[in-house]
Amino acid sequence: MKTQAIIISFVAILLSNCAQKSVYDKETSTLDSLKIVLQVKRNELNKFDKAIESISAYKLKTYGAFLKSNLKDTINKNQANTLQIFLNAVEALTEFEKMRAPLASQTEISITQLQTLSADLKANLIQSDQATRFITNEKHNADRQISILEQTIKTLNISIINIRNYLPKTEDLIKQINGGKLPSVVSDSLAD
């Protein structure tokens, strides 16, 4: 009788572990997928470093500072629109430079947390009452981070396109204001 109770208990424990494992398999698959999406978005974001470098962020900041300090003449509507689009794009790149390191750091943290949670779930190292809470939190955090990355990538794409499209017109306008020359040096206080 005791032996039979022990066998039944053992089988019940095995079945409950199998049931948990299959639930965790589904969740770990979701966590692994989120991790891959974050890695892809991180890689997309890293590509912008070269794109920004190719359009010379310093030159853009110099132009922006020059325009802000020297644009006193009346300009027509088309010129104003051109400058506004150009300056907004430069501002977006400047903001990206400021938030680049924290954004990359948070993305790496999220990737590591997803990877760790997935490994712990696969190894059944987390109790089921905690697992659900951890899974929900990490999925929420990953979804939020993916959304931030997607919005940042979209903004950067638009900004780079706008800079490439409006840079020649902006340079022409700067030359009109500056006696036919583009500015080469702007004091540090204006460039920031």
Q: How far apart are CA 175 and CA 179, in angstroms?
A: 6
Which residue type, as a one-letter code, is found at position 8?
A: I
- In this model, does residue 190 exceed pLDDT 50? no
Q: How far apart are CA 64 and CA 88, in angstroms?
A: 10
Q: Encode pLDDT of 86-144 as tens digits.
A: 999 999 998 998 999 999 999 999 999 999 999 999 988 988 889 999 999 999 999 99
Surface-to-core class of residue 59, CB atoms within 10 Å of its CB (0-12 exposed, 13-18 middle, 19+ buried)? middle
Helices (H), the chain: 2-54, 57-70, 77-122, 128-177, 188-191
Mean pLDDT value across residues 7-33 = 66
Q: Encode pLDDT of 114-128 as tens digits.
A: 999 999 999 889 888
